[in-house]
Structure 1
């Protein structure tokens, strides 16, 4: 089944929740709070999606991009039913293609996905995180 990766200017909270809720990221995101999810999406200025031929969202990258130096990917997710088909790599490839050679692409990986990112050629860097206290 063909998958199309493209940058989208807007993404609905419903689409995000439907997709991310079907991934391991779902338990760590406020998918029961559509208003907070919409605020997260509104704060992102670079979103790349993967959709199947019916238009269903099967994967996404939600990012903040300064356009000249760095693009931070806050979420990179592929529905579990579509994993292992190269969709995650295609999303990363589309992101780096659209960003061009002058903008770095960085993310913080879930421990279970570290091997995947290494296989895509991404380099490991240390990250620090001040945890939130409100996850709703």
Structure 2
């Protein structure tokens, strides 16, 4: 999929840990991801089963990294667009392409970064009032 002359979108196109780290470093999401842990970043990429990327020439400028069953739910874990190209519709295009990969009844789910909370209603996403988290090592016995 190509959105404009500058940006090319690719589905499940391989990216390196370093490309992912470099992109996240250019976004507010980087502060909340383990950028110093290359092994963990590599596992995050390896185990995602749907990744949509945005490229400007050879540069990775956007990513939507998801874990999904493609039919009931899709957790969009990372939506990141380089601050150098934000406000150009890349985030919206990444979400749209992610949705095109899913069955029409599949629900897209994401947890917004605090600085991005105002973005999602503008593109038609609905706020859900409850989400719960727990770290694997903290689950009570």
Scaled by the length of structure 2, the TM-score of the pair is 0.87
- Identify the residue that residue 106 of structure 1 maps to in structure 2: 109
Q: Distance in 1 between matches of 2:17 and 2:31?
A: 16
RMSD: 1.6
- Identify the residue that residue 83 of structure 1 maps to in structure 2: 86
- Identify the residue that residue 27 of structure 1 maps to in structure 2: 31
Moved over 4 A (4+): none
Correspondent of 2:7 among 3, 14, 18: 3
Instruction: State the structure with bigger RCO (CA 8 A, min sep 6), 1 or 2.
Output: 1
Q: Distance in 1 between matches of 2:127 and 2:50?
A: 22
- Confirm whether residue 123 of structure 1 aligns to residue 121 of structure 2: no
Check conservation: 1:60, 1:77, Cα contact below 8 A: yes
Scaled by the length of structure 1, the TM-score of the pair is 0.90
- Identify the residue that residue 64 of structure 2 maps to in structure 1: 61
Q: Distance in 1 between matches of 2:58 and 2:104?
A: 30
Secondary structure class of the residue paired with 2:22: helix
Q: Which runs of 5+ in 2 are unaligned?
A: none
Correspondent of 1:51 among 51, 55, 76: 55
- Confirm whether residue 70 of structure 1 aligns to residue 73 of structure 2: yes
Q: Distance in 2 between matches of 1:10 and 1:62?
A: 12
The structure number with the bigger radius of gyration is 2
Correspondent of 1:38 among 42, 48, 54: 42
